[in-house]
Amino acid sequence: MSRPTSRRHNAARVCTALLTLALGAFGTARAGCFDVKNAQFTRLRPLVSRNAEKALTAVNRLLAGLPADAARTEPGRLAALYAVQADAYGELGLYTPARASALKGLGLLPGRTDPLRLALLSDYAQSFKEPAGIDQALGLIERARAAQKRASRNDICLQIVQGYMNQQRDRSGLATRELTQAYLLSASPALAGPRMDAASLLATTLRRMGDVDEALGLIGRVIRWDAARGSASNLAIDTYKQGQILRTMGHFRRALVSLTRARRISLSQGVHQGVAYADLRICQAEIRLGRFTAARRDCDRAAPVFAAGNATDMVKETHALLARIDLADGHAARALAMLNRVLDHGGKDMVAHEVAPAYLSRARANAVLGNYRNAYADLQQYLRLYSARNQAARVRLQDALEVRFHAKEEIARNAVLRRRLRAAALRAGRQGQLLHWIEIASIAGTLAIVLLSYILLAERSHRRQLLRLANEDNLTGAPNRGHTARLAAAALQSALARNRPLTVALLDFDHFKEINDQYGHAAGDHVLREFARLARGALRATDTLGRWGGEEFLLILPDTTIGSALSSIERLRLLALGIAPHPGERAETWPRVTFSAGLATTAEGASTLDEIVARADAALYEAKNAGRDLVRIDRESCRNAANGAPI
């Protein structure tokens, strides 16, 4: 039998599934999982995976040739043709006709355990893409599961459908539990196909939850399965998933290898949308590696394919990447014009996780062109969206915690059941029969314990990753802007309460755009990373250096007067000058790395954080205007010093 999830998508199916779910991964749970014995179905179903349009043409021809009374004389054959038709429509992303075909087939078959009927029910349920329809369909799947033998193939396949549909509803905790159980229950060789499908979908969920190491291991097993079976279409999709996971992990060169392989396989299969998605993700990886010429080529190849399919959100995602390339190439005006078109509806017609980066790119373009008011507004919008994404991640974690609670209850119930069964066996003397039930209960308890152990282990990893995501700048490892602002506010509150001085400094690297333009963005990233690393060793434990935006850092110096702060700044200036060349650059051609700084301190305990930072920013602006590589103290701090305040 074919594998349970139809991860062998052709063009329109891949496009529509991704646009609807914004999951960044291929795959649905489809009818091929069920062990259908109907000869018509087993002959035509593999054709759907290879070429859904040809399969649809073939099944329509067969339907047209059936006698008018086929529903009475050949209901099984007619239902099988409707199942293939529904599957083909689903592969093509045509969900309304898929639902109609599935309903016709369901009307022909009685019973609750017929695999062909369950295959039709699976197609029907997955034809819903709006939340209310998905929830209604989940109810149908749950009732169908209740009629199946526990841990049977039918039960496992329906559970995979449940897991997939909860993925669609962004219920990561439930999807993880259902897909993990399906994966564990399908460990026998006879269920290898469903097991690999559960693994493929579980890898997608784990990637979204941040458990990328486990996701990478799972998808590696699935790829080996695909290769052993010679399933080219499955191999393309799962290799694409592998590339996405590697890209999420920051392994961009390894991601390029997987994505290029997926592109090559999709091209050989004639799946042009699959090629376009691979091109888009290759473009993203190339940008992160600073290979902007290659990235432009790949994005330029993807854009017209998405445009031809009226995939507005994917067109906009591609154009946002092209704008980033324009920015890197020094074409800020062109980048701004493109980003204005991308964000013409405020991101409502874009994939959700791509909206914040688009605002950040537009903020940078506006800043380069001197549109500082617009740049600030875009930066504020970026920070708001970034915070909302972090909050969504916390909600997913809470969902997972609820799943863990129920899993723990299930383990407790299984333990009680085992004790009662053992006692009953001793009292009644019917050990043979009861030992059989004890074994079943033990297996169920073991599975639940394995699941809970996995979830509890994953929780610590998820918590660490969520805290890092919320507080740490992913490039430099320094506190991000939000966390820096919170630390600064706490330091100011402490300084005011103890009547102690607090000094802040805004540091901005000089001619940073020239470093990016001449040596590439990888060199600019190297400068920021090295500066943050060196500064951590040069500052006191009570001091904080946080990334404030772009090439700008905010330095918080508690219990520090202006005079002492100047000494700290001077140490950092020397460290910046000593930043080693980026790998591949010669020392004699490496630029002199400098920064300008503006300092401000509390004014007799009466300052607010916004006021101090604004005064430091004004002093920084003076340092820039005076020729850069300079330090300036804001005027109020200077006046305080002139009036006898300690400096």
Answer yes or no: are the C-beta atoms of 394 and 466 closer than 8 Å.
yes
Cβ neighbour number for residue 27 with a 10 Å cutoff: 27
- Residue 16 tokens read as 């529509």
Helix spans in 355-478 (H): 355-368, 372-428, 431-471
pLDDT at 647: 46
**Torsion sign over Cα 67, 71, 73, 74:** positive
Q: Kindly provide the residue ranges of all beta strands, DSSP E only, lying in 320-369, ordered along the sequence.
A: none
Model confidence pLDDT, tens digit, residues 276-296: 999 999 999 999 999 999 999
Could you report the average pLDDT of every consecutive run of 10 residues in the chain (647 residues)?
A: 38 36 40 81 81 87 93 93 90 86 93 92 90 92 93 93 89 86 89 90 83 88 87 84 90 94 88 89 94 95 89 92 93 95 91 87 90 88 78 54 46 50 55 53 51 52 58 89 91 90 95 90 92 93 93 95 91 92 86 94 73 92 93 82 49
| Distance from C-alpha of 555 to C-alpha of 488, rounded to nearest angstrom | 9
∠ CA 232-238-239, nearest 5°, is 85
Domain membership of residue 541 (yes or no) is yes
Element (H, E) at 558: strand 552-558
Judge residue 257's burial from the number of C-beta atoms within 10 Å of its C-beta, 0-12 exposed, 13-18 middle, 19 or more buried: middle
Range of the domain at 630: 481-642
3 state SS of 202: helix
Which of 419, 452, 471 is the endpoint of a domain? 471
Pair (499, 631) in one structural domain: yes
| Distance from C-alpha of 617 to C-alpha of 507, rounded to nearest angstrom | 9
**Torsion sign over Cα 497, 499, 500, 504:** positive
Pair (562, 457) in one structural domain: no
Can 551 be counted among the known catalytic residues? yes
Which of 414, 440, 471 is the endpoint of a domain? 471
Domain membership of residue 602 (yes or no) is yes
Pair (437, 486) in one structural domain: no
Answer yes or no: are the C-beta atoms of 531 and 545 closer than 8 Å.
no
Pair (429, 499) in one structural domain: no
599 DSSP assignment: E
Pair (577, 630) in one structural domain: yes
Pair (508, 538) in one structural domain: yes
pLDDT at 420: 57
Answer yes or no: are the C-beta atoms of 280 and 317 closer than 8 Å.
yes
Which is catalytic among the residues 74, 551, 552, 588? Answer: 551
- Which single residue is written with the structure tokens 């149908």? 140
Pair (435, 497) in one structural domain: no
Phi-psi region of 290 (alpha: psi -120 to 50; beta: other; left: phi over 0): left
Helix spans in 230-311 (H): 232-248, 252-269, 272-288, 292-308
| Distance from C-alpha of 223 to C-alpha of 207, rounded to nearest angstrom | 16
| Distance from C-alpha of 400 to C-alpha of 176, rounded to nearest angstrom | 8
Cβ neighbour number for residue 642 with a 10 Å cutoff: 9
252 to 204, 222, 240, 503: CA distances (angstroms): 18, 21, 13, 40
pLDDT at 58: 93
| Distance from C-alpha of 219 to C-alpha of 201, rounded to nearest angstrom | 9
Domain membership of residue 538 (yes or no) is yes
| Longest Cα–Cα distance in the chain | 104
- Residue 106 tokens read as 């369901």
| Distance from C-alpha of 259 to C-alpha of 264, rounded to nearest angstrom | 9
Pair (454, 567) in one structural domain: no
Pair (560, 635) in one structural domain: yes
Pair (463, 490) in one structural domain: no
Model confidence pLDDT, tens digit, residues 307-359: 987 888 899 999 999 999 999 999 999 999 999 999 999 988 888 888 989 99
The count of C-alpha atoms lying within 13 angstroms of the C-alpha of 102, restricted to the half-sphere facing its C-beta, is: 26
- Which single residue is written with the structure tokens 């079976």? 229
Domain membership of residue 398 (yes or no) is yes
Domain membership of residue 243 (yes or no) is no
Domain membership of residue 184 (yes or no) is no
Relative to beta strand 631-633, strand 595-601 is parallel
Pair (421, 557) in one structural domain: no
Which of 415, 439, 471 is the endpoint of a domain? 471
Pair (518, 631) in one structural domain: yes
| Distance from C-alpha of 342 to C-alpha of 339, rounded to nearest angstrom | 5
pTM over 0.85: no
Phi-psi region of 351 (alpha: psi -120 to 50; beta: other; left: phi over 0): beta
- Tell me the β-bridge partners of 597: 507, 631
For residue 348, give every residue at least 6 positions away whose Cβ sits within 8 Å of its Cβ, in sequence order, or none: none
- Residue 200 tokens read as 């493929």
pLDDT at 254: 95
Q: How many independent structural domains does the chain possess? A: 2
3 state SS of 472: strand
Domain membership of residue 508 (yes or no) is yes
- Tell me the β-bridge partners of 606: none
Q: What is the CATH number of the domain that holds 625?
A: 3.30.70.270
Which among 215, 222, 214 is positioned nearest to 239, based on CA atoms? 222
Domain membership of residue 545 (yes or no) is yes
